[in-house]
Amino acid sequence: MDRAETWQAPEYIDPAAFTERETTVGSGQFVVPGTVTLPCGEGPFPAAVLLGGGGPFDRDGTAGPNKNLKDIAWGLAGRGVAVLRFDKVTHAHPESVAATVGFTPTDEYVPHATAAIEHLRGLSNVDAGRVFVIGHSMGGRFAPRVAVAAGPAVAGLVVLAGDTVPLQWSLVRVVEHLGRVDPATAAALPSAETVTAQAELVDGEDLSPTTPADRLPFGMPAPYWLDLRAYDPAAVAATLDLPMFFLQGERDYQVTVAADLAGWRAALADRPQVTIRTYPADDHMFFPGAGISLPADYVRPHHVDVQVVDDIADWITTR
């Protein structure tokens, strides 16, 4: 049996408090399926578009037996916040994406996110002036760019473990970290020397649209890295006059308090509309635990920390 089928709703979910219906997001060859989760009652409710992390994730954020995005969507809907989540285009249309020359992470996130925002704003039981963007990991990194694209349609941002360190150097940090704490996992990854050379190529003057993908991190093509290199999420966030809520697990080794959260703090220091909270027990997926977080933890059943769900719901409903 697929281990993803073992997912069970967390204890903090009340299935009677919300309803769900299927929808689509986007248009043309890249239209993707999605799910609208609505609190019971007349509304109008505040609402949020939920953006997954880097990689071809489905709308639930399925990873082994875990579905962190579904935990969040159901948890928020039971607390009075409508949520639209959708399969990433890289999950729904991997072949078409791979065949699209010049496809970038902006293409991966922004068109569907802005379409989802407008979808929510068009629902009769959603408060069109209170639609937020919630992004996890790379989805959090791109939340400021989504806000720029959507303009006044966005009421605020919630960033869960959003990275500010350039992705190529985050990869170097992760490989070096796992080499110290989890050598068995590290042995299956490219060496630290290899990923360092790839990161230096991404940073270098020789990177061009024709640089071979096999010389670059994750085997992603050069236009992808050129787009990432040109985008500073913390600097873009600093241009936004929006309330923003940053959440970070202290056990997270992929996106860290010391490096990535520090980037948000430095760019948004003394901004009265910015709230930052850290969660000592939580890892990158906001699963609570103890000790050093390891990749093997992600294949054991977990649920998103109820305190994280409560804090997001409270923050959104009081804006």
**97-103: average pLDDT:** 95
How far lies 48's CA from each of 69, 176, 217, 247, 316, in Å?
A: 12, 36, 32, 16, 9
137 an active-site residue? Answer: yes
**260-281: average pLDDT:** 97
* Candidates 91, 136, 284, 302; catalytic one: 284
* Candidates 91, 93, 136, 137; catalytic one: 137
The DSSP element (H or E) to which 132 belongs, if any, is strand 126-136
Phi, psi of 12 (to 5 degrees): -85, 5
The predicted model scores a pTM of 0.96
- Alpha-carbon distance of 175 to 228, in angstroms, equals 20
- Bridge partners (DSSP) of residue 35 are 22, 85
pLDDT value for 240 = 98
- Alpha-carbon distance of 117 to 243, in angstroms, equals 17
- Alpha-carbon distance of 268 to 291, in angstroms, equals 31
Of 90, 91, 228, 213, which is closest to residue 163 (Cα–Cα)?
228
How far lies 209's CA from each of 24, 202, 307, 309, in Å?
A: 32, 11, 44, 41
284 an active-site residue? Answer: yes
206 an active-site residue? Answer: no
CA 74 to chain centre: 17
Using pLDDT thresholds of 50, 70 and 90, give the confidence band for residue 2. very low
Task: Give the number of other Cβ atoms within 10 Å of residue 296's Cβ.
Answer: 10
CA 126 to chain centre: 23
pLDDT value for 3 = 39
- Alpha-carbon distance of 40 to 26, in angstroms, equals 26
For residue range 285-302, what is the model confidence (pLDDT) as tens digits?
A: 999 999 999 999 998 999
Lowest mean pLDDT among 4-13, 108-117, 144-153, 205-214: 4-13
**269-292: average pLDDT:** 96
Q: What CATH architecture is 3-164+232-317?
A: 3-Layer(aba) Sandwich (3.40)
pLDDT value for 5 = 52
State the average pLDDT for the chain: 96
Q: Classify residue 129 by its DSSP letter.
A: E
For residue range 167-220, what is the model confidence (pLDDT) as tens digits?
A: 999 999 999 999 999 999 999 999 999 999 999 999 999 999 999 999 999 999
Q: Using a pLDDT cut of 90, give the percent of the chain over it.
A: 97
For residue range 247-269, what is the model confidence (pLDDT) as tens digits?
A: 999 999 999 999 999 999 999 99
pLDDT value for 270 = 87
* Candidates 87, 252, 260, 305; catalytic one: 252
The number of helices, as runs of H, and strands, as runs of E, in the chain is 13, 10
The DSSP element (H or E) to which 56 belongs, if any, is none
- pLDDT greater than 70 at residue 56: yes
pLDDT value for 308 = 98
The token duo for 66 is 């875990």
**151-165: average pLDDT:** 98
List where CATH 3.40.50.1820 sits in the chain: 3-164+232-317
